[in-house]
């Protein structure tokens, strides 16, 4: 009885790893479901071929001596050549026939431009005319039950856009924009990652896709389209002044102020984001202060300079101002 329980637990361990917020075998869209089904079919087909060939090898080595040479030849041809060829051909046909499942089915209802940069993600939500409505960074929110078009491009080197629960990988090559269509069917948060080595901080270039109900998405979209919250305390007012005069506005934009920098992320609603540094740290005043003071110590090689010359009071004020921008 104990051995049976142990065997069952061992069999359940791999199955427990087939769900999660970054797992290709836990699909939440039709596109990812096709990839998952194809993967399982390939795993099973490959296992069947492997077991058959190994069984033939074992029979050839340990089987009875003095066998009929003709029967031996037929066994090799049938089991070692015909069977793998037929199995692999069937898998290939299934993959080709099902490939249209990864293509566009219906006109997208939402268009999002995603730009890979060293080492973060820029997201622009577009209107029907293709004009940017607002911009965010490292986080995507989409409604469930809606066909979404991700227009993928890169600002520098080759990146690769990958959200395993939603779709397969798609490389972002300079000068070659691509489009990925996703129809998410289950709400939740799903982690994405750059899947192509793009520099020293490639491994720390993550993002999150949150799938929400349609009404929650509209509420979020309206909030993101608003200008930044005006500071209402002396600390936050001092923080905005430091932000505008210390060089931050050269690279960043906060809508509703005089800033217009476009090199770095739009910070209009940075306080509402879950993380900073493309998934590096959970968002908060302490993390924002550390990032502003010396982002190079936290994520070496990123393109934001250190502001460790700021007085402690000014650093605290600008971090509090950033945290208030929800």
* Judgement on whether residues 320 and 244 belong to the same structural domain of the protein: yes
Q: Count the residues in the chain.
A: 326
Q: Indicate whether 157 and 198 sit together in one domain.
A: yes
Query: 160 is written with which tokens?
Result: 């690769």
Q: What is the C-alpha end-to-end distance of the chain, expressed in Å?
A: 57
Print the domain residue range for 121.
Answer: 110-225
Largest Cα–Cα separation, the chain: 96
Same domain, 179 and 217: yes
3-state DSSP call for residue 131?
coil
pTM higher than 0.85: no
Beta bridge partners of 171: 160
How far, in Å, CA of 84 to CA of 96, rounded? Answer: 18
* Helix pair angle (30-62, 83-98), 10° resolution: 180
Q: Is residue 11 part of a domain?
A: no
In sequence order, the β-bridge partners of residue 151 are 113, 179
Q: What DSSP string describes 215-260?
A: HHHHHHHHHHHSPPPPP-SHHHHHHHHHHHHSSGGGT---BTBS--
> Is the N-terminal amide bond of 119 cis, ω within 30° of 0?
yes
Instruction: Classify residue 38: in a domain, yes or no.
Output: yes
On whether both 116 and 221 belong to a single domain, the answer is yes
C-alpha to C-alpha distance for 247 and 107, rounded to whole angstroms: 43
Would you tell me the crossing angle of helices 312-324 and 234-245 to the nearest 10 degrees? 100
- H/E run at residue 64: none
CA dihedral sign of residues 131, 137, 138, 142: negative
Q: What is the CATH number of the domain that holds 128?
A: 2.60.40.420
Element (H, E) at 285: helix 285-298
pLDDT digit string (tens) for the chain, length 326 residues: 455 444 433 444 444 455 677 887 889 988 888 888 888 988 888 888 888 878 877 877 776 766 666 666 777 777 778 878 888 888 888 878 777 766 666 688 999 999 999 999 999 999 988 899 999 999 999 999 999 999 999 999 999 999 999 998 999 999 999 999 999 999 999 999 999 999 999 999 999 999 999 999 999 999 999 999 899 999 999 999 999 999 898 999 999 998 888 899 999 999 999 999 999 999 999 999 999 999 999 999 998 988 888 899 999 999 999 999 99
6 belongs to a structural domain: no
Residues 98 and 34 in one domain: yes
Contact 180, 150 (CB under 8 A): yes
198 in the same domain as 114: yes
φ, ψ (nearest 5 deg) of residue 176: -130, 75
Stretch (H or E) spanning 153: strand 147-154
Same domain assignment for residues 173 and 191:
yes
Q: CA torsion sign, 281 to 286 to 288 to 291?
A: negative
Distance between CA atoms of 122 and 116, rounded to whole angstroms? Answer: 7
Q: Are strands 110-117 and 147-154 parallel, antiparallel or unpaired?
A: parallel
- Are 97 and 117 contained in the same domain? no
């Amino acid at each position: 009885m104990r051995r049976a329980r142990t065997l069952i637990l061992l069999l359940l361990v791999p199955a427990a790893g087939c769900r999660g917020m970054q797992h290709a075998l836990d699909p939440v869209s039709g596109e990812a479901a096709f990839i998952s089904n194809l993967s399982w079919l390939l795993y099973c087909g490959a296992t069947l071929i492997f077991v058959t060939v190994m069984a033939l090898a074992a029979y050839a080595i340990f089987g009875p001596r003095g066998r009929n040479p003709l029967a031996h030849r037929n066994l090799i041809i049938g089991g070692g050549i015909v069977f793998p060829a037929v199995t692999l051909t069937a898998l290939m046909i299934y993959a080709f026939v099902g490939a249209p499942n990864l293509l566009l089915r219906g006109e997208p209802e939402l268009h999002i431009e995603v730009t890979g940069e060293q080492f973060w993600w820029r997201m622009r939500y577009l209107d029907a005319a293709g004009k940017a409505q607002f911009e965010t960074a490292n986080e995507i929110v989409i409604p469930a039950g809606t066909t979404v078009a991700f227009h993928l491009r890169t600002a520098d080197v080759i990146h690769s856009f990958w959200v395993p629960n939603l779709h397969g990988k798609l490389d972002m090559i300079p000068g070659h924009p691509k489009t990925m269509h996703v129809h998410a069917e289950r709400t939740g948060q799903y982690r994405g990652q750059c899947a192509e080595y793009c520099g020293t901080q490639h491994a720390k270039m993550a993002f999150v896709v949150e799938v929400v109900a349609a009404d929650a998405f509209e509420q979020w979209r309206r909030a993101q389209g608003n200008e930044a919250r005006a500071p209402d305390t002396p600390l936050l007012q001092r923080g905005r002044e430091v932000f505008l005069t210390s060089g931050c506005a050269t690279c960043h934009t906060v809508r509703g102020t005089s800033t217009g920098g476009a090199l770095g992320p739009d910070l209009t609603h940075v306080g509402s984001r879950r993380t900073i540094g493309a998934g590096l740290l959970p968002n908060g005043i302490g993390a924002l202060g550390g990032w502003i003071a010396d982002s190079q110590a936290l994520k070496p090689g990123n393109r934001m300079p250190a502001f460790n010359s700021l007085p402690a009071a000014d650093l605290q004020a600008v971090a509090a101002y950033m945290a208030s921008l929800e």
